[in-house]
Amino acid sequence: MEKFKEKIKTCLQNEPAFCTAACPFGLDIRDFIPKIKRGAFNAAYRSYLNAVGFPGIVAQICHQPCKDVCPRRFKDQAVAMRLLERAAIDYARNLNPNSYNLPAKNKRIAVIGAGISGLGCALRLASKKYDVTVFEKSDRIGGHLWNLLSPEIFLAEIERQFMYEEYTLLLNTQIKSLDQLDFDAVYVATGSKGTDFGLRPGAGGAFASTRPGVFLGGELCGSNIIEAIADGLNVTKAIERYIKTGGMNQPPEQRGTKIQLKPDFITPMEQVLPDKGDPFTKDHAMKEAKRCLLCACDACIRHCDLMRYYGKFPRRIGEEVEITVHPGTLDGDGTVATRLISTCNQCGLCKEVCPQGIDSGNLLLQSHRAMRQKGAMPWAFHDFWLRDMEFTNSDEAALCRLPGWYTESRYVFFPGCQLGASDPRYVTESYRLLKAHHPDTALMLSCCGAPAEWAGEGPIHNEVIEKLRRDWVSLGKPIVVFACSTCYEMFGKNLPEVRGVLLYNLIAELGISPSKDGEGETVSVFDPCTSRNESGLHQAVRDIAGMAGFSLQRLPYEGKYARCCSWGGQVSAANPSFAREVVKVRIAQNDHPYIAYCANCRDIFASAGKKCYHILDVVFGINDAERKPPTLTERRYNRAQLKRRLLKEYWNEKSEEEQMENKVKLYISPELRQKLSDEMLLETDIEKVVEHCETSGRKVVDKGTNSYTGHLMIGNMTYWAEYRKKDDGFELLNAYGHRMKIEED
Amino acid sequence: MEEKKTLTCYRCNVELKAQKTYFEYLGHSFHADVLRCPECGEVYIPEDLAKGRIAEVEMQLEDK
């Protein structure tokens, strides 16, 4: 967490847009453009006016340095800023400046030169009620503007902006020496060939000269006309600082931006062009404004589901996590980010897309662990999956064996907990294939420990890892063949001494012909987020799909930028609406079926109605893309079944078939089975409730429907079953659960 | 309209009555009136209560 605190200091969230950084006035594009976009031209005009001082002049003559840095220029054309600025003026309700009622300041400022830079300075200071005197050697104001614009335009604009301000203008008054002036501060803006009174720019301070109280700016100092106006507006900050503190050390404005933008993510949009040099209509302007990318360093919030869902950048997340883990309240509560911490999919995309490599996911993982250690993380967020892991690693489903008479093996197949849960044949067929090529291949049916890691359960996680290490050593330290990229990642992280390969890479390397014929069907390969850094794996899966005759279409997010299917971090108990939203977005990327190579991605998408193959469906020709995924209860049954089947086939061992079943016989309709699964309730737990009610007689009778209702606490959860007698058992009518404990004495 | 259910305790054969009942979650304790057997205290919580108010309070406590 300390590391994150240091790293977050490099976050570029507050860096200006490219155009803002290039604009002499620093016009805040993220403020201006949204106003135009929604047709709020008056509001846009006010922003523009505040930035440039003389909108009617700047919008006519600006050389648009913004257009040279607009990232759109790489894709189509830069946003037509000057036309948008003119539209803000054309369609604003009120062009007049604001009138400020402030007390007069007892300070006198001299401005030498009534060009537009000097007038800019005079305007800003006069509006703050300084006593301003402008000295002009000629008989007119405007200076260089006379060569650039029609006087009707600029004189009218100057008059408008000064309409509420008072200042003294002395025309035909040439200042020969600064010594003849008795003022608190002086701004010298005498133009490109004007006098500098023998002064040089001073060291350090913005616009400062070597003489205290005298500032230089505008075209005199080599600025162009637009920069000269900006100088006139900006010098006032340096003058005010001098007046208040006597220092000539106003820091010069920092220009530039550190943000980076990958043009790959820019969608081309045609430039809106007015007819024959006409100004924009309102519609034109609003349409053109939509082309603006509002450049900001926001890759994290654009790509990360969690940040987008909460609308929070890493800096804010860091702050909230800090006060959640170390609350400052007397009660020690105020855990504002508990659910946010538990909503991270741990997919790693935030770090991947961040130009500074800020790893918010790791912060959330560490803080999860810290919260768990304190006992401040609600148990319910991970209870189901920790119990599921316990089941996978129990005698009912776990297995670690060398084949036949071998005493050690070169390879061990580690399918992970969910592959066989989805369809046991994925494992049996893969193992058969591996054994055909390497007969000494051992087998490990176990969980990689991811649920404990995601739950922040340090001690449980360590136990799982230690058991895996012992098992692996007992097999002769073989190369582990993984079918799940999460297991692969977890081993890499926690058991770095273990060498691992991915099943799909092996299948591609062995050149095995897929059994399924894709018949040219267009599909998209969905890379699991944990495969992010495995470019070889991405290619292998595409090669297999291609060999099967599928036609592949790319997804917007794949490979290095793979996004989580919603399973990662097992966040659905903590934040079900987030998980649902993530799935919805993932499956809507295109209308074609997906090919996944993570059993969770495959089953989650299929549950949400998306056609999705597992790559092993393609390799072995097992299932079609519409296969309904098993319920949570069936997933457990499948794992136990898988172990029995493998023991029988490869080790000729018969085990009890009835292990999964309880004593009571419960009839459950398919609809109710699905409901239980959706609500993360296991049929085996509900069977226990009924069994408990029947043996203890603790139940409530509804004489109207002739049904019973009873409850039982299993672990932390309280489960309820509503049922009635049927044949030799019971018919389950309904079941539900809650986390709250009933205090029964 | 659905008829009002008459619920009785299987063991005591007595009709359930709303009674003050204590609940606990994440270290917080509170009470509410739910149907219970006046004799043995057997509790009944219907699904709409479990998924409604109870789930709501659970969520509030998790976010507290």
Mention every residue, 6+ apart, whose C-beta is less than 8 A from residue A330: none
Structural domain total, chain B: 1
Pairwise CA distance, residues A127 & A102, whole Å: 8
In a domain, B3, yes or no: no
Please report the number of interchain residue pairs, chain A to chain B, with beta-carbon separation below 8 angstroms: 85
In a domain, B38, yes or no: yes
A736 CB neighbours in chain B (<8 A) are 47, 50-51
Average pLDDT over residues B34-46: 96
Flag if B24 and A741 touch (Cβ within 8 Å).
yes
Flag if A742 and B47 touch (Cβ within 8 Å).
no
Span A284-335, pLDDT tens digits: 999 999 999 999 999 899 999 999 999 999 999 999 999 999 887 666 566 7
- Of the CA atoms within 13 Å of residue A648, those in its CB half-sphere come to 11
Under the banding of pLDDT at 50, 70 and 90, the label for residue B3 is low
Span A237-286, pLDDT tens digits: 999 999 999 999 999 888 889 998 877 778 889 888 887 778 999 999 99
Pairwise CA distance, residues A436 & A88, whole Å: 74
Is residue A404's pLDDT more than 90?
A: no
Span A462-487, pLDDT tens digits: 999 999 999 999 999 999 999 999 99
Pairwise CA distance, residues A723 & A734, whole Å: 7
Average pLDDT over residues A430-444: 96
Flag if A702 and B6 touch (Cβ within 8 Å).
yes
Pairwise CA distance, residues A112 & A672, whole Å: 86
User: CA-nearest residue of chain B to A735?
Assistant: B47
Model pLDDT, residue A664: 87
As a whole-number percent, the residues of chain A with pLDDT over 90 amount to 90
Is residue A662's pLDDT more than 70?
A: no
Is residue B8's pLDDT more than 50?
A: yes
Span A168-218, pLDDT tens digits: 999 999 999 999 899 999 999 999 999 999 998 887 789 999 999 999 999
Flag if A700 and B50 touch (Cβ within 8 Å).
no
Flag if A738 and B50 touch (Cβ within 8 Å).
yes
- Of the CA atoms within 13 Å of residue A629, those in its CB half-sphere come to 28
Minimal Cβ distance to A338: which of B50, B51, B62: B62
Flag if B8 and A704 touch (Cβ within 8 Å).
no
Flag if A380 and B50 touch (Cβ within 8 Å).
no
Model pLDDT, residue A651: 93
Model pLDDT, residue A335: 75
Flag if B7 and A380 touch (Cβ within 8 Å).
no
Model pLDDT, residue A332: 57
SS (H, E, C) A393-405: CCCCCCEEECCCC
Pairwise CA distance, residues A209 & A207, whole Å: 7
Mutation pick from B13, B25, B51, B61 vs chain A, by most beta carbons of A within 10 Å, is B25
Flag if B44 and A708 touch (Cβ within 8 Å).
no
Mention every residue, 6+ apart, whose C-beta is less than 8 A from residue A530: A347, A348, A485, A486, A488, A489, A568, A598
B10 CB neighbours in chain A (<8 A) are 697-701, 708
How close is the nearest chain A Cα to the Cα of B11, in Å? 6
Please, which residues bridge with residue A720 across strands? A711, A736
Mention every residue, 6+ apart, whose C-beta is less than 8 A from residue A180: none
In a domain, B4, yes or no: no
Residue A475 phi, psi dihedral angles, 5° rounding: -90, 0
Average pLDDT over residues A708-713: 97
pTM over 0.90: no
Is residue A410's pLDDT more than 60?
A: yes
Pairwise CA distance, residues A631 & A723, whole Å: 20
Q: Which structure tokens are listed for A559?
A: 């490979």
Contact predicate A518/A537, CB 8 Å: no
Mean per-residue pLDDT over chain A, rounded: 94
Span A516-566, pLDDT tens digits: 999 999 999 999 999 999 999 999 999 999 999 999 999 999 999 999 999
In a domain, B43, yes or no: yes
Mention every residue, 6+ apart, whose C-beta is less than 8 A from residue A662: A684, A687, A688, A691
User: CA-nearest residue of chain A to B55?
Assistant: A738
A378 CB neighbours in chain B (<8 A) are 26, 61-62
Flag if A701 and B8 touch (Cβ within 8 Å).
yes
How close is the nearest chain A Cα to the Cα of B6, in Å? 6
B47 CB neighbours in chain A (<8 A) are 720, 722, 734, 736
Model pLDDT, residue B1: 45
DSSP reduced 3-state for A701:
strand
Under the banding of pLDDT at 50, 70 and 90, the label for residue A744 is confident
Domain that holds residue B59: 17-63
Average pLDDT over residues A729-737: 97
Average pLDDT over residues A596-618: 98
Residues on chain A bordering chain B, Cβ-to-Cβ distance under 8 angstroms: 333, 335, 338-339, 378, 380-381, 574, 697-704, 708-709, 711, 720, 722, 734, 736-745
Span A375-399, pLDDT tens digits: 999 999 999 999 999 999 999 999 9
Longest CA span, chain A = 115
Model pLDDT, residue A347: 97
- Please give the ipTM for the structure prediction: 0.97
Model pLDDT, residue A272: 86
Pairwise CA distance, residues A436 & A510, whole Å: 11
Rg for chain A (alpha carbons), in Å?
36
How close is the nearest chain B Cα to the Cα of A305, in Å? 20
Average pLDDT over residues A490-507: 97
In a domain, B56, yes or no: yes
Model pLDDT, residue A266: 84
Model pLDDT, residue A328: 75
